[in-house]
Every structure is written in C-alpha cells, then in structure tokens.
A and B are shown apart, each in its own frame.
Chain A
C-alpha cells in the first residue's frame, strides 16, 4: 500500500487538523456526486477508497480522539442509470440499464435502436447513453422528452432538473469557481453543496461539518 501521508498529500509531521483538512478536500474532490453517471466513476471510487484507507490508517496509528473514522460514501443518494428502480416490467430495459452502467454504450444503443416503440423509459435510457458519451445537448433533449411523456416519474424529473441546473463538479477553494453558464457561480455552488450535504446526511454521511455535526 502507498504511504498514507503521500496519498493525502501531507507530511508525516502534519497536525491532526491539517490531516483532516487535506482528507476533507480530497473527499470533496472525489465525491461520487461529482461523478454522476460518469464513465470515470469507477476510478473516482477507487481513489476515494484509497483516501479513506489512508485517513483511517493515520488516525488509527495516531490513536488520538478515538474513532475519527472516514466518511462513508458507499450509499450515495445519486441514482445512476442501471442501479435504481426495479420496475421489472421490461427485462430488456433492465438489461440495457446494466449495459449502460457497465459503460457498454455501443451495445446499449444498438439494443435501444432495435426497440420499435419509444416510450418514456426508452427516451430516458437513450438520454443516459448520450450523457455518458458526452453528448450533453442531445442527452438533455431526450431526458426532457421522457419527463414530458411521463411527468409523474421522479427519476426522469430529477434527470431534467439536474440537466437544467448545470450539475456539479469539484472546484478548489480560493476563487477558482468560474462557470460556463455566466452569472454568479457562487450561488449555484452553494445550492449544490447544500443539496449534496442533505443527500449525504440522509445516508449517514456529512459534507458540510458546520451545518451538520460529525
């Protein structure tokens, strides 16, 4: 295993507070919410595991304060296509969801194209294929069609909402929060952060320590 201090990017002489700060910044960077339906989600979760292990190793070896263990991000509230909702009404769609989740986009698209009637689920899954491929404009159009066809479905609604609101990604501290959408990014960022914190707290985690408590 790599040196836990170099994993967190701090020196072995760093104070507990510095270690915690470095850990928090990295945890924020590789948080699953930043890799929402992202083809690199597996790499990010490996990185997260490495960081958690490094932090646990350091806190255990220091044996101070007792039990300051890492965040558990395992059960993040975000839903990626393929891991949610067992509607079970259409085995083919389940299979396509699994393909999308395994990043096998070409096959997922081929299967979708082979389906004759296009219902809301079809548009949603096609949107997911485009999304993962980086075709953000097309993905948005398909998500919107899915939500229009089945307005009661929370998954489709969430996808449209996520699309319209601009999503989220890590921004380092210190004024590096530029936005492609114009206007004030800080406002969006706060919204995203608070939303992400609520999601984390539902799962027992905590993103903003001063709002919740660790």
Chain B
C-alpha cells in the first residue's frame, strides 16, 4: 500500500532477512495463486508485516520457487498458510480501492492507468470480497466516510485518520483469542493512524500545489508546503503517543517465529520511515532501498 511499515534491513540477522524475504515472496506467490498474475503488482511491505503479525506460533514451512522477478534463481518462499491467505485477500481488497481512488483523484495519464488496473482486477476484487466479507464491508464504509470528510475539508486530523485506522483495526476481527484480538486491534489502530499521518505529511507539498484535501493543511498552517517547526513537533509528539500505544499493544500479542523482524519493524523501521518523511528524503530513501535489495 504505502510501504512505510518495513524493517531496517541492516539491523536484521541474516536468518531473519531470509525469513522476511520468504514471507514477501510467499505473499506475491499467494496473490498469483489466488488472484492471477496481475494481482502480483499489489504486493507490498505493509501486508507482509500483517502476514507476519497474524502468523500462528508454528514453524514456517518454505519451498524454493521461481517467479517473473527472479526467473534465473529460486527463492525460498513461505508456503501457503492461513495468515498468508488472509493477507493476500486483504491486499487485493485494499489495493483495488486504492486504485479506484487513484482513478477518481489523479490527473491524466495516471488516472487512466488506475482505471485500466481497476478493470483488470475487478474479478479478483470480487473474489476477495466474498472471502473477506467483514473486512470488505469495513473498507467500503470507512473509505466512504473518509471521502465525505475530505469533501467537507475536515480540519480534525484525528477524525480523518480514524477512518483509515478503523479499517486496519477491523483486520483483528478474525483473531479468535479475545485478549489477542483486543491487543491486535489497538496495535493496528495505532499503526493505521501513523500510516495515514505519514502519507499526509509525505504528500503535503503536492496536495497544496494541486489544491487537494490534506488534513495537515486544515489542522495546521503550512507555509511553502512545509509545517513550521512548532507544528511539526506537535504532530510528531502525537505520533509518538500512537507509537507508544502500538508498542504497548505489541507487548501483549505474544511471540511467534517472526518476532525479531516484527520488533525491528516496530522499534526501528517506523521511526526511521518517520524521520525520512519529515526530512523530505522518504522517496529517495525508498528508491535506494528498492535498488539495493533484490526483493
């Protein structure tokens, strides 16, 4: 989706990096298996994180596979499992809506590309909706409410972020253990708020230029596409509190085979992404990240 939720690779153990790659590639294969070739393009770090977070505490089974991105050597991919299937379904639902949003909001030719992709993935989207009806209903409702807020130029940052965060929280609905479900719900809500704000901060200058809605425009008073240092401090402090809530909920989730990677993503990855977004280097660092890694 947005790609902000990723581990700091240099701080992962070699075995953890391989396991992370296995989940990412496994999710891509799962998308192709369940939804066809084109859905592979929706694979992202955020849902890789989700697949790891939702995973049962059982040894992960992998198998070597080839794919269009790595045609000459096989990579160890996580085999199909419950958490991977759920993550793939949700990737398609949310990914399709993001494309639909792009088709409506973006200007030519990007809007046409989004429209074409939306058409191509409509069948996949319908299948994903039938597999995850509760999640799909939550996405539709909350995104609809978010659009209304955008039209009204809602000045409350939290009210706008709440809609996106609620979508992520609804993912926890599938967890059976009530305590774990509550903890995951709080974790995902806080994560959703952080992702929404990061996206808003990242797009602030562009949104001001294009005169599109951005909650930070109405909550604060940005000058030349940037927040004043005082406003940035207030915003980042409020994100720190969400991060604290996320960390506290994460502590109650229990451990699984991906704990090392999840901890890295939460304790280091999110702060690093935040730092990069506010320093204005996110897009550059994300590009370097893509170039350097084979994932």
Contacts and interface: CB of A to CB of B under 8 A. Distances in A.
Interface string A130-147: 100111111010000000
Interface string A31-59: 00011001110011001000000000000
Contact of B244 (A39, A169, A176): A169
B248 A169 contact: yes
Interface string B211-223: 0000000010000
B238 A140 contact: yes
Nearest to A188: B240
Contact of A171 (B162, B235, B240, B247): B247
The size bracket of the interface on B is 35 or more
B275 interface: yes
A172 B267 contact: yes
A133 B271 CA distance: 22
A75 interface: no
Contacts of A138: 156-159
A179 interface: yes
A180 B271 contact: yes
Contacts of A164: 237
Contacts of A171: 247, 267
B239 to A, nearest CB: 4
Secondary structure class of chain A's binding surface, majority of residues: loop
A166 interface: yes
Chain B interface mostly: helix
A24 to B, nearest CB: 15
Contacts of B242: 134, 136, 180
B267 A177 contact: yes
Nearest to B156: A138
B274 interface: yes
A38 B245 contact: yes
A130 B233 CA distance: 20
Contacts of B247: 34, 169-171
B179 A43 contact: yes
Contact of B238 (A30, A47, A137): A137
Contacts of B157: 137-138
29 contacts: A38-B186, A38-B248, A43-B183, A44-B248, A47-B252, A134-B158, A136-B158, A136-B238, A136-B241, A137-B158, A137-B219, A137-B235, A137-B238, A138-B156, A138-B157, A138-B159, A140-B234, A163-B237, A166-B237, A166-B244, A169-B248, A170-B248, A176-B264, A178-B270, A178-B271, A180-B240, A180-B274, A181-B236, A181-B240
Interface of B: 11, 156-159, 162, 165, 179, 182-183, 186, 189-190, 193-194, 219, 233-245, 247-249, 251-252, 263-264, 267-272, 274-275, 278
